[in-house]
Amino acid sequence: MRKSFIAGVALLSIMAGVGAARAEDKEIKGVLIDQKCAAGKDEDGAAKHGKACTLKCCDKAGFAVVSGKTEYKLDDASATKAKEYLEKNDSTKVVVKGTEKDGTLTVSSIEAQK
């Protein structure tokens, strides 16, 4: 009986942790751009930036999403997802889902804005 109780408590703790992790996920709408060219731009300025330049500069500068006046840098794993997205899609206006910590996004998904 005691083992069953401990196993049940452990399972509930794991499930609560998974729920808490999902609660931190947020959705951000903005423009996918390289970090170098994002500097000093708001979302409207970033929207005028070309996809070709973003792909050219991303290897050295990394990726960012500019939403309003906020720039969110993408971590390395997310940058890979961003590059794959741009290679298949023309639109740089995106919706990203993921977690944000200290201005850096860890992206779980990237889709074109509708």
For 54, counting Cβ atoms within 10 Å of its Cβ (0-12 exposed, 13-18 middle, 19+ buried), the class is buried
**Lookup result for tokens 């779980």:** 108
Tokens coding 6: 């401990």
Interval 38-60 mean pLDDT? 90
Interval 1-29 mean pLDDT? 60
Does residue 43 contact residue 69 with C-beta atoms inside 8 Å?
Answer: yes
Q: Which residue has the higher pLDDT, 24 or 1?
A: 24
Q: What is the pTM of this model?
A: 0.76
40 pLDDT tier (thresholds 50, 70, 90) = very high
Interval 29-33 mean pLDDT? 96
Residue 51: helix, strand or coil by DSSP?
A: helix
